[in-house]
Structure 1
Amino acid sequence: MLAVLTVAGAAGGWWAYRSLEGNIHSADLDDRLGHTRPANTSPGSMNILVVGSDSRDGTGGEYGKGLETMQSDTLMVVHLPRNREWATVVSFPRDSWVQIPACDRGDGTESAPHKFKINESFAIGGSTGDVAGAAACTIKTLEHNTGLRIDHFVSVDFQGFKGMVNALGGIEICPEEPIRDDKAHLYLEAGCQTIKDEDALGYVRARYGIGDGSDTGRIGRQQEFMRALVAKAKAELTNPAALYDFLDSATASLTTDRDLAGIKPLYDLASTVQDIPRDRLTFLTVPNYPREADVPSDKANVVWQYPQARRLFTALADDEEVDKAALEAETADPLYASRVRVRVLNGTGAPGQAGEVAEELRAAGFTVVSVGNADQDAEATSVTHPAGLERQARVLASRLPGAGAEQDGDAAPGVVTLTIGTDYDRLR
């Protein structure tokens, strides 16, 4: 929508679309995000949360059974740098196993912190049907686990997505094999064809009857579909009726924070990024691997791959462009947390601290071999390792804000040693 608004405005059609102003819903998040948010370390850059919401409102329940709360089907963060010369779009698999902080449910109660799929955060905050609450809990969860400061959010619902596709007469896809997915109600033959309505929605949502059946595979398919959608929307600029219908559906499907709620703020945002070259618009997925590698009984979720995920988040926080090819090369050979053997030492002087942190590490998939007390009190948390365990030490250290990994000639052989200092906060 941003891309089309920019071109439409440049073509002189800007004022014709002011009538769409009232379509966009706004949500006030000011009092919902708490006071312990990450700092904005790169003033002028911007992180925008984009959520594809499969709320069942108005769908007659055809998109799922037994779901009474709002659901997030797609979760992305768009990073716009201070110089607006490039952009990075990071997708987060909805099956990501993360820490979900306490969130306001909107009914006077608060959820307890716990670990679960990342998309549950949208459902918790949106349990009363409030998009602002859903977005607030999702933002808190992302900030808690990534350290990124989220500046804005945009939520797009099912019906608006279908309307955008239909306004353009459908989008062409070319599956190499027939698609049969009962859960997505999608049945397509192999070969190039134009899809719209429920087929378009099913295609971007399908998982089990197409490709490798993974959530990351679906993310890639969604990204390709959106590229095609933008390209066709731009091509329809000579057809005012189709273009208006497209923007009418797009804007009616949007809920944003107050600062973005309006055609002009969105147009102004689009105008600042319209000159970004296509080869500097990068689509990434957070590095991840099946959680089954750490917890054999969990065959449904993924965990983020460290230290690669931490490097990605740090680069964006520092407003640095990410080299996609280099990131993918780094993630080709994951080192599972379960293969990192850890000795935990308590340097805080507080009884029981090592045991508590050991349980936290086990919950994250690490193999804890022993706990004990450090020889002396420590202010700073540290990770040390013997020669040959550099990779293992980096995996652990990347989960601890501010901690580094150092080789120690006197370190216990075969294990990475975590010494808990008084500055210890939590495992990310």
Structure 2
Amino acid sequence: MPGTHRSARPRRAGRARTRTRRILLWTAGTLALLVLVAAGAGAWLYYRLNGNITAAEVDDKLGEDRPEDLSPGAKTILVAGSDTREDTDGSYGHTEGMRSDTLMVVHVAENREWATVLSLPRDSWVEIPACQLDDGSSTEPHFGKINESFALGGMHGDAGSAAACTIRTLEHNTGLRIDNFVSLDFLGFKDMVDALGGVEVCPEEPIDDDKAHIQLEAGCQMLDGEQALGYVRVRYSVGDGSDIGRISRQQEFMRSLAERAQDRLTSPTSMYDFLDAVTRSLTTDPELAGLQPLYDLASDLQSVPEENLTFLTVPNYPRELDVPEDTANVVWQYPHTDLLFDALAHDRFLSEDELAAAAEELLAMDPAEIRVRVLNGTDVPGRAAEVADELRAAGFQVTETDNAPAPVPTTVISHPEALAGQARALAARLPGSAVETAAAGDGEGAGGGELTLTLGPDYPGLRAPR
């Protein structure tokens, strides 16, 4: 089971989280220091580097159906690695537009006393909403890998459209309001490493990967930019071949990169070349598009005590457990993800242990205590009665079946405010269903309240607790 697997090696996981905290803090510290160096070097250099950063407007592509901003003083930032092949000789393959193999959400609390970095596996199977492209056309909503959203938005090479489609997908599936985004392009690593004269890595096993164009012996060695580019891309021929393993190697590389940059601060030429490579590789929303706002963000991260900087991966399990023929993707685990996204949306700190305990409490809830009214929001006659029988067989109390006032595009569980826990418990058995608070008075039956399950065409079917 996913929960059991996650806790199988707690000591190793603890060391990894501690190492990753230091990587981010060192990287933020290096960025802040480099910005100060640029500022002190003169107005010409500062404005030259400041002008390198690309600003991409996204607000006009995000639509009107965005989640409410429940914590305006906090910062929730999308960080994406843009895997574009533009300006390459084709040796890394040919792709249309842009891709992203690295997606993270960084949440910095309003009081700046804690922060959470949430990694999103690129193979997460999610609903991708309709996205507006830079040519005025729109994509169709569908299910797919989460990183497909970046590729769809960026199919014409527009970074703003790529980021906007990813933001829409994140907001649609998490309920989080994304405030800003930062994207680092595919060639950024290569140019940064060459500017510093190489970066040291210490692989524990030899690497020989034709796809990533990298051959390395085991042990510590200095990589040039071309080798570093292969190192951060390699996946299938190292370790267990997972995306999680690649993320770990990328984090280790960023630590080495930050240390090398700090060591080379005494070389004006190296520092200029490095800063030039960093800033030319960055695309952000207009609010972050400058050295000063990036310095402010780095300073906010630096001010967070290391013990309050939490790194999580979206709780997930293989989609193969639900769809046997799909061996390539993962799905997000409920109610864990619902609890996590809700906490971040309301700017509430939630540790991994607290998340696991809260999810266990919901999953242990007795279905016999949960009253459900089932409404058919599809065009399939008798659908509510079928689902009612399914719920009753699982122990839920079904109080009523009826047709919804109008068809609905997606399955929704609505609940009185006092029954939020019960709604999450039901949602844990119906993956992908939306959960919303009902209007005052709705769902307040004689039995002390009930949930309303409105069936959409995407009704997933009741599954056993995971």
TM-score, normalized by length of structure 1? 0.80
Select 1:106's aligned residue among 134, 141, 146. 134
Code of the aligned partner of 2:40: G
Structure 1 residues 139-148 or 11-20, which shifts more? Answer: 11-20
Give the C-alpha shift of residue 152 in structure 1.
Answer: 0.6
Conservation of the 8 A alpha-carbon contact between 1:374 and 1:419: no
| Cα deviation 1:146-185 (Å, max 9, x = unaligned) | 1111001111112222111222233322222212222212
Code of the aligned partner of 1:182: D
Code of the aligned partner of 1:13: G
| Cα deviation 1:10-47 (Å, max 9, x = unaligned) | 56736453431111111111211001101111121011
Partner of 1:96: 124
Structure 1 residues 48-57 or 259-268, which shifts more? Answer: 259-268
Partner of 2:172: 144
Alignment of 1:30-109 (within 5 A): 30-65=59-94, 67-109=95-137
Change (3 A) 1:161 1:110: same
Distance 1:240 1:189 in 2: 33
Conservation of the 8 A alpha-carbon contact between 2:195 and 2:274: yes
Distance 2:144 2:111 in 1: 36
Partner of 1:375: 400
Give the C-alpha shift of residue 400 in structure 1.
Answer: 3.4
Conservation of the 8 A alpha-carbon contact between 1:106 and 1:127: no
Conservation of the 8 A alpha-carbon contact between 2:319 and 2:326: yes
| Cα deviation 1:283-330 (Å, max 9, x = unaligned) | 222111221111111111111122222222122112123324555799
| Cα deviation 1:157-214 (Å, max 9, x = unaligned) | 1222211122223332222221222221222111122223222122222110111111
Select 1:396's aligned residue among 425, 429, 435. 429
Structure 1 residues 187-196 or 25-34, which shifts more? Answer: 187-196
Select 1:268's aligned residue among 264, 289, 296. 296
Conservation of the 8 A alpha-carbon contact between 1:46 and 1:81: yes
Select 2:280's aligned residue among 252, 255, 259. 252
Q: Which runs of 5+ in 2 are unaligned?
A: 1-26, 364-370, 406-412, 417-421, 439-446, 461-466
Structure 1 residues 247-256 or 305-314, which shifts more? Answer: 305-314
Partner of 1:241: 269
Aligned-pair RMSD on alpha carbons?
A: 4.0
Select 1:23's aligned residue among 46, 52, 66. 52
Distance 1:142 1:56 in 2: 24
Local SS of the residue matching 2:138: coil
Code of the aligned partner of 2:85: R
Conservation of the 8 A alpha-carbon contact between 1:346 and 1:353: no
Change (3 A) 1:328 1:401: closer
Pairing 1:346–2:374 present: yes
Alignment of 1:124-139 (within 5 A): 124-139=152-167
Conservation of the 8 A alpha-carbon contact between 1:160 and 1:249: yes
Conservation of the 8 A alpha-carbon contact between 2:335 and 2:425: no
Give the C-alpha shift of residue 99 in structure 1.
Answer: 0.2
Change (3 A) 1:28 1:144: same
Partner of 1:157: 185
Local SS of the residue matching 1:274: helix
Local SS of the residue matching 1:347: strand
Partner of 2:419: none
Partner of 1:291: 319
Conservation of the 8 A alpha-carbon contact between 1:397 and 1:403: no
Distance 1:426 1:221 in 2: 39
Conservation of the 8 A alpha-carbon contact between 2:187 and 2:229: no
The structure that is helix-richer by fraction is 2
Structure 1 residues 46-55 or 346-355, which shifts more? Answer: 346-355
Code of the aligned partner of 1:7: L
Change (3 A) 1:350 1:329: closer
Local SS of the residue matching 2:246: helix
Partner of 1:338: none
Change (3 A) 1:353 1:248: farther
Partner of 2:464: none
Code of the aligned partner of 1:420: L
Change (3 A) 1:86 1:167: farther
Runs of 4+ in 1 over 6 A off after TM superposition: 328-332, 356-359, 389-392, 422-427
Change (3 A) 1:10 1:276: farther
Conservation of the 8 A alpha-carbon contact between 2:192 and 2:225: no
Pairing 1:222–2:255 present: no
Conservation of the 8 A alpha-carbon contact between 2:384 and 2:455: no
Distance 1:280 1:53 in 2: 29
Give the C-alpha shift of residue 239 in structure 1.
Answer: 2.7
Distance 1:142 1:375 in 2: 34
Partner of 1:232: 260
Code of the aligned partner of 2:248: G
Change (3 A) 1:125 1:325: same
TM-score, normalized by length of structure 2? 0.74
Distance 1:220 1:213 in 2: 12
Partner of 1:420: 453
Local SS of the residue matching 2:40: coil
Local SS of the residue matching 2:107: strand
Structure 1 residues 3-12 or 142-151, which shifts more? Answer: 3-12
Give the C-alpha shift of residue 135 in structure 1.
Answer: 0.8
Give the C-alpha shift of residue 331 in structure 1.
Answer: 9.3
Structure 1 residues 11-20 or 178-187, which shifts more? Answer: 11-20
Q: Which runs of 5+ in 1 are unaligned?
A: 336-342, 384-388, 405-409, 411-416
Tell me the matched-pair count: 396
Distance 2:259 2:213 in 1: 27
Code of the aligned partner of 2:117: V
Local SS of the residue matching 2:303: coil
Change (3 A) 1:303 1:55: same
Structure 1 residues 320-329 or 298-307, which shifts more? Answer: 320-329
Give the C-alpha shift of residue 73 in structure 1.
Answer: 1.9
Alignment of 1:115-126 (within 5 A): 115-126=143-154
Distance 1:349 1:307 in 2: 24
Give the C-alpha shift of residue 354 in structure 1.
Answer: 7.3
Give the C-alpha shift of residue 250 in structure 1.
Answer: 0.5
Conservation of the 8 A alpha-carbon contact between 1:8 and 1:14: no
Local SS of the residue matching 2:182: strand
